[in-house]
Amino acid sequence: MRLVDIDGFEICPKLFDRASMLSLADSLQRSTIRRSRAGIRNALQIDSVRTLANEPVLLNFAKDVLGQGAVAIRATLFDKSPRSNWLVVWHQDTPLPLEDRRDTPGWGPWSVKEGVICAHAPASALEQILAIRVHLDDSNADNGPLRVLPQTHTMGVLTDDEIHDLANEVSPVECHIPSGGVLLMKPLLVHSSSKTNSQNASRRVLHIEYSTRVTVENGLRLAIGA
């Protein structure tokens, strides 16, 4: 059992060298995929991101947690900087990308994001997901790092009120991770981030999600490559 299974997150601080992160950042900058002020949603469509998601070192993490059938399903670039600055309140990551809409108990509400059908998923599906966050830049106390509430991933899908209460009861952990480091995270882990206080440093994170299987429930299939 890995630490991510126990605490809901696990930091691996030195995995890729800074040069490879700069190269990846350059490929993302040159990509023709539409980007918002906050980053890029369907980043797994970019060749360099797809290659990274299938790197043995990351894929082995996913297989270790999810089983040998683990597959990358989605990637998102978060690009927080003085020019594009925001805070994220305490929450869980509950929407999943799907090939089509089939009204199924426990799934919903539904939405479409950048052309991809999404639905808030039940705990049974989210427990089969692992996020691996690759840090292109240093993440530190000054640039709005991820904050997590350890072990809250075991509590199922929570209401807003329950999340608010936990945020007052559980001591948060700030995830300070250098460029080239990664964070393994369960989507049901309650997490947040503040605005950056840095006037010149970006905090770019590539958030890659893996699933145990493609077919999740009653014929519902995850949309691969979102």
Band of residue 226 on the pLDDT scale cut at 50, 70, 90:
low
- The owner of tokens 């797994």 is 44
> Within a domain: residue 226?
no
pLDDT in tens, 109-168: 999 988 899 999 999 999 999 999 999 999 998 888 999 999 999 999 999 999 999 999
Task: List CB contacts of 93: < 8 A, sequence separation 6 or more.
Answer: 126, 131, 187, 188, 191
Task: List CB contacts of 42: < 8 A, sequence separation 6 or more.
Answer: 33, 74, 75, 114, 115, 116, 225, 226
> Within a domain: residue 180?
yes
Q: Is the bond leading into 109 cis (omega within 30 degrees of zero)? A: yes
Range of the domain at 13: 3-221
> Within a domain: residue 207?
yes
Query: What is the C-alpha to C-alpha distance for residues 120 and 225, in angstroms, rounded to an integer?
Result: 18
First to last CA, the chain: 29
Domain of 42, CATH number, reads 2.60.120.620
pLDDT in tens, 52-100: 999 999 999 999 999 999 999 999 999 876 576 567 899 999 999 999 9
> Within a domain: residue 163?
yes
Compute CA 210 distance to the chain's CA centroid, rounded to the nearest angstrom.
9
> Within a domain: residue 70?
yes
> Within a domain: residue 117?
yes
- Domain tally, the chain: 1
> Within a domain: residue 151?
yes
> Within a domain: residue 107?
yes
Q: Is the pTM of this model over 0.85?
A: yes
